[in-house]
């Protein structure tokens, strides 16, 4: 795992995770989890990824405007479970506080019993706010 310039308070971090310049509080990260620079995660479970993306895949994602695997830069996430292979774009805000149970962002986010869930393989475009 690589943790660069992070503030971490009570976290479990799985093998192969890469967390860059982020603030982490009471979180669990599964294998190959990625968190971009400047993100703040609190009370979050990130399941990780089945694989690392190759340079060609990263370039293809960039060309199609699709976020990379994991959590992008400058995100704020609180009270969430992020399933495997989810793609959360830069600047997303996913906070469960005060939200009613239901489906948001065309099924890419589900809230049940006060827990925000991003399902397996979901893609959230940059700047998504829930």
Q: Quickly state the pLDDT bin for 9 (edges 50, 70, 90).
A: very high
121 contacts 107 by C-beta, under 8 angstroms: no
Count of other CB atoms within 10 angstroms of residue 3: 16
Q: Is the pLDDT of residue 121 over 90?
A: yes
- Give the percent of the chain with pLDDT over 90: 93
- DSSP lists the bridge partners of residue 27 as 11
**Rounded Cα gap, residues 30 and 13, in angstroms:** 7
52 contacts 18 by C-beta, under 8 angstroms: no
Question: Considering the entire predicted model, what is its pTM?
Answer: 0.93
pLDDT digits (tens, 9 = 90+) for 95-119: 998 889 999 988 899 999 999 999 9
Positive/negative CA dihedral, 15, 49, 91, 61:
positive
pLDDT digits (tens, 9 = 90+) for 64-80: 999 999 999 999 999 99
């Amino acid at each position: 795992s690589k943790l660069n310039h992070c503030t971490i308070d009570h976290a479990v971090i799985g093998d192969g995770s890469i967390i860059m310049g982020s603030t982490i509080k009471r979180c669990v990260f599964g294998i190959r989890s990625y968190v971009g620079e400047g993100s703040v995660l609190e009370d979050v479970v990130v399941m990780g990824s089945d694989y690392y993306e190759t340079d060609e895949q990263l370039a293809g994602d960039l060309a199609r405007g699709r976020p990379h695997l994991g959590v992008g830069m400058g995100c704020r996430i609180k009270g969430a479970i992020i399933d495997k292979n989810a793609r959360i774009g830069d600047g997303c805000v996913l906070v469960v506080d005060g939200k009613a149970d239901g489906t948001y962002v065309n099924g890419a986010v589900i809230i049940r019993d006060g827990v925000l869930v991003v399902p397996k393989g979901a893609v959230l475009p940059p700047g998504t706010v829930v």
